Amino acid sequence: MTKYKMYLLVCGGTGCRASASDSIVENLKQELETKGLQDEVQVLMTGCFGFCEKGPIVKVQPDNTFYTQVKPEDCAEIIEEHIVKGRKVNRLLYEDPENKKHIEDSKHMNFYKKQIRIALRNCGFIDPENVDEYIARDGYSALGKCLSELTPKDVVDQIKESGLRGRGGGGFPTGLKWEIAAKNEADQKYVVCNADEGDPGAFMDRSILEGDPHAVLEAMAICGYSMGATKGLIYIRAEYPLAIKRLKIALEQAREYGLLGTDILGTGFEFDIEIRYGAGAFVCGEETSLIHSMEGLRGEPTIKPPYPAEKGYLGKPTNVNNVETYANITAIINKGANWFNKIGTEKSKGTKVFALAGKINNVGLIEVPMGTTLREVIFEIGGGIKDGKKFKAVQTGGPSGGCLTEKHLDTPIDFDNLLAAGSMMGSGGMIVMDEDNCMVATAKFYLDFTVEESCGKCSPCRIGNKRLYELLDRITQGKAEMEDLQRLRNMCYVIKDTSLCGLGQTSPNPILSTLDNFWDEYVAHITDHKCPAGQCKDLMKYEVVEENCVGCTACARVCPVGAISGDKKQTHYIDPAICIKCGACEERCKFDAIIVK
């Protein structure tokens, strides 16, 4: 890697690739070749930088220049100005929203200032398709250390001492899980990586696999060593083609280097990994469902115990951890459990990756120490709410989590605090909502998801969630009565108490938390037949304001269903029985003569 003087790192995450980062790489390479600089400057496609809002990103090393929203046609200018003449292309630099100054070095961006990157340490720094770059950043040294210096028990003890808890949602202590799996004797054991990231709005696991696949492979091998397993399986969503491709490349390279296979690093230790494909079922994030799916069956959960650590894949002891959990392992082995457990809060150690999305200025992937407050995440790192609107709620934990409000903003984020606030950590999706989002509709959105994803095995989840959805639907249509709110709450508790697996046990959370935090909004739908956020279509009514209407007929012409009548230069009328509330007329009207009630 020493022969190049400069590096142009181009983000190759799914978001940036969707905005043509492939052609950016091509154009940059071509421009370098025409200038004869291809041996001086290397162009690399890396994993996600995290700052998806302003993608595609091009970063210049070693000076850390951070170009945002780069288009393929900008490449010539970057090469000509920055590389040849040494002048930064100002118009592509990130502009500080507060003082409108261009920021040259990404270290000074608010987005990155408060972040500590452990799980994402290599994302955006290395070429994920080249094992040498991973090795150059201490890759596979943790595995080497385990195999040559530590006993399997030492490894388990280190992980236990680090205080690492499962990042997939539950927060179960990882070391303890490993210990149980290690103690169960069997002729064959399995190490499983759960990469079935089904939580909508969370994309950290995918970004890790796309940006640093070897970190997961190495950690799985370490886990195999600690529990006495020789086989690993990665269960990944088929919807993640890029992550799958990079994993396959990583597996091949690791085998070629003798980092997987028989006799790893000449120590006699044997371990290899296979990929298994998910096929789009949210419930498969649950351990027992995931195992059934890997066995080729319907991904339905079974009662625990027996836990997978006793009887898992093919009835053998199996350890299942999530991608982000594994991504922390090598850092813990390399830097020590005591380094790791000094980061974070008393009961939640280390960092957590969050996918910030929704109505927030800086959509992206961030990693912060446990204990960071929601306010810091949303307003400092996230840059506040889009279009200067008012913050209303943040949803954490996906369909199993809840909506937190203004009063929770100063709560330090960790597993226990989020649970106490009526939400949960989940896999780390964080969806920010503003005043235009209706919380009843949001709860309905999540229930729609749950109803679709419920596997149907146990009736509380299969039937109960459907009933919850119907109640919410009635509320959003203005057809519910006040008693329905009590019915809603009671049913939530029954479903939580009686469902078989985590899906049903947590699915009422979005309703309960919005009932607690946004009671008035529910009441407004029921008693006033109004949606305060103006989102619920059935409660909207488009009307013409007589004084403003000049009779230009623009609205009547744009109406797709012919609901607007009126002669030229006469006041128009919207027939509420025909109107489908598409809003096209309101958008078209130049005279503010159409309002929503």
Partner 1 sequence: MSSIKVKLKEQDLNKIKEICKSFNNEEGELINVLHKTQEHFGYLPAEIQEVVAQELNMSVAKVYGVVTFYSFFTMLPKGKFPISICTGTACYVRGADNVLQEFKRQLGIEVGETSEDGKYSLSCLRCVGACGLAPVVLVGDKTYGRVSAEGVKEILAEYQDK
Residue numbers at the binding site for partner 1 (CB under 8 A): 14-15, 18-19, 52-53, 55, 197-203, 206-207, 238-240, 276-282, 293, 295-299, 355, 357-359, 363-364, 395, 398, 429, 431-433, 437, 442, 445-446, 449, 452, 455, 560, 582, 587
Nearer to partner 1, 236 or 593 (CB): 236
- Identify the CA nearest to 250 among candidates 221, 227, 226, 228: 221
Query: How many Cα atoms sit within 13 Å of 437 on the Cβ side?
Result: 25
- Identify the CA nearest to 391 among candidates 404, 381, 401, 400: 404
Nearer to partner 1, 9 or 221 (CB): 9
Nearer to partner 1, 417 or 437 (CB): 437
How far is the C-alpha of 226 from the C-alpha of 146, rounded, in Å? Answer: 9
Nearer to partner 1, 79 or 403 (CB): 403
Q: What is the DSSP string of 469-486?
A: HHHHHHHHTT---THHHH
Nearer to partner 1, 198 or 317 (CB): 198
Q: Cβ of residue 358: shortest distance to partner 1, in angstroms?
A: 5
Q: Which runs of E-coded beta strand occur in 156-217? A: 190-195
Q: Cβ of residue 131: shortest distance to partner 1, in angstroms?
A: 24
- Identify the CA nearest to 446 among candidates 428, 427, 463, 431: 431
How far is the C-alpha of 257 from the C-alpha of 32, rounded, in Å? Answer: 32
Q: Is 141 exposed, middle or buried (0-12, 13-18, 19+ CB in 10 A)?
A: middle
Q: Cβ of residue 333: shortest distance to partner 1, in angstroms?
A: 29
Q: Cβ of residue 491: shortest distance to partner 1, in angstroms?
A: 23
Q: Cβ of residue 222: shortest distance to partner 1, in angstroms?
A: 27
Nearer to partner 1, 240 or 542 (CB): 240
Query: How many Cα atoms sit within 13 Å of 146 on the Cβ side?
Result: 35
How far is the C-alpha of 552 from the C-alpha of 111, rounded, in Å? Answer: 48
How far is the C-alpha of 391 from the C-alpha of 398, rounded, in Å? Answer: 19
SS3 state at 566: coil
Q: Cβ of residue 336: shortest distance to partner 1, in angstroms?
A: 33
For 119, the token pair is 């799980």
Q: Cβ of residue 354: shortest distance to partner 1, in angstroms?
A: 12
For 219, the token pair is 């950690």
Nearer to partner 1, 94 or 140 (CB): 94
How far is the C-alpha of 498 from the C-alpha of 304, rounded, in Å? Answer: 14
Q: Cβ of residue 525: shortest distance to partner 1, in angstroms?
A: 17
Q: Cβ of residue 37: shortest distance to partner 1, in angstroms?
A: 31
SS3 state at 517: helix
Nearer to partner 1, 189 or 276 (CB): 276
Nearer to partner 1, 268 or 560 (CB): 560
How far is the C-alpha of 302 from the C-alpha of 320, rounded, in Å? Answer: 15
Q: Cβ of residue 457: shortest distance to partner 1, in angstroms?
A: 11
Q: Is 550 exposed, middle or buried (0-12, 13-18, 19+ CB in 10 A)?
A: middle
Q: CA torsion angle for 165, 168, 170, 173 (degrees, to 10)? A: -20
Torsions phi, psi of 433, nearest 5?
Answer: -120, 150
Nearer to partner 1, 178 or 282 (CB): 282
